[in-house]
Amino acid sequence: MHLLFLSRPDRGHTYPTLWLAEELGRRGHRVTFASSAAGPASSAVRILTFGQHERSLLDQPAFRSRGPVDAVVGDPRTVEAARATWDVPVVVAGTNLPPGHEWPGEQAYEQYVFSLPGKRGAVRDPWRPGGRRPVLLVDGPSIKPLVRAFGDTDWQVVVGDSTRFAGLPHADVFLTDGGLPQVSAALRAGVPMVLAPRTAQETGNARQVVDLGVGTIATLEELPAENLRRLVEHLRVDEPTLAVARQIGRQVAAIGAREVAAARIEDLLGATPLTQAA
């Protein structure tokens, strides 16, 4: 098959699905990876830059020479453009957790493939923890003001955002509102969470995290700073919680492995690999 990956770089991962495209190329498919920013790839993938609009790809000789597109693998930012431009099957690949498990999963797309973000092309945050002091990642507009509760403590507080999650690889605890991207990132990293949901969807996500055994729901408006610090500190050292978080992280890594994600795309599209994946 000729598979077109349609990607827009974001702040968290410039090319979240690049290594997935390369895996499908190794399996014998013709793969074109198109993005609004060019970057390197293996010889199994043709990289093209489409500028400001995806439709400009149609006029590129390098794109036309690849032959008709059999399917498009989009991401949440390009899926609508893919559907409007190409009259072929469209699969959405993303880094939110997949549905069908006990954790919160992506429900917005009928054909969705979960893929761990690849290492190449990822934005590298220069921040590193100072010494052995514990690290708290704080995310969410209603939660960021709470960093003052940790001003006189040993905690190193990192303020993230909904796409970057700066400091998550180093975090001991994640204080968040419970949005799906945040929860997905924390479960991938095996980091326990204190959740302060605001919406019905965030509340549902938070309850699932609690049921998994890797988080606690807090009503922050009614939670004094001292109690919040105590809650965060408990999660940092509670071994049963940490063990479950690590176990889920390993499970997520297996489900989102590029070989598994590539096979899932082939299954959705009825494709057969021409070569055995390395």
Residue closest to 117 by CA, chosen among 77, 163, 151, 55:
163
Kindly give the pairing relationship between strand 193-195 and strand 173-176.
Answer: parallel
Q: How far apart are the first and last CA of the chain?
A: 19
Following CA atoms 142, 195, 232, 192 in sequence, which dihedral angle do they give, to the nearest 10 degrees? -130
Q: What does the pLDDT look like over 200-256, one tens digit per residue?
A: 999 999 999 999 999 999 987 778 889 999 999 999 999 999 999 999 999 999 999
Q: What is the pLDDT of residue 126?
A: 60
Q: What is the pLDDT of residue 273?
A: 67
Q: What does the pLDDT look like over 264-274, one tens digit per residue?
A: 999 999 877 65
**Which domains are seen in the chain, by residue range?**
2-116+256-269 (3.40.50), 135-253 (3.40.50.2000)
CA distance 97 to 112: 10
Facing residues of 7 across strands?
35
CA distance 247 to 227: 28
Phi, psi (rounded to 5 degrees) for 176 = -145, 165
For the record, the structure tokens of 192 come out as 């326990």
What b/e string do you get for 246-269 counting C-beta neighbours within 10 Å, with b at 16 or more? Answer: eebbeebeebbebebbbbbbbebb
Q: What does the pLDDT look like over 185-196, one tens digit per residue?
A: 999 999 999 999
For the record, the structure tokens of 50 come out as 């489409």
What long-range pairs does 207-212 form, CB within 8 A, spacing at least 24? 208/102, 208/103, 208/104, 209/103, 209/104, 209/178, 209/183, 211/102, 212/102, 212/103, 212/187, 212/244, 212/248
265 contacts 113 by C-beta, under 8 angstroms? yes
CA distance 153 to 89: 53
Facing residues of 137 across strands?
158, 174
Residues 6+ apart with CB under 8 A from 270: none
Q: What is the pLDDT of residue 278?
A: 39
Q: What is the pLDDT of residue 38?
A: 65
Per-residue pLDDT of the chain (278 residues), as tens digits, is 999 999 887 654 556 788 899 999 999 999 999 988 766 777 889 999 888 889 999 999 999 998 899 999 999 889 999 999 999 999 999 989 999 899 999 999 999 999 987 765 444 556 678 788 999 999 877 777 778 889 889 999 888 764 557 678 889 999 999 999 999 999 999 999 999 999 999 999 999 999 999 999 998 777 888 999 999 999 999 999 999 999 999 999 999 999 999 999 999 998 776 554 43
Helix (H, G, I), strand (E, B) or coil at 277: coil
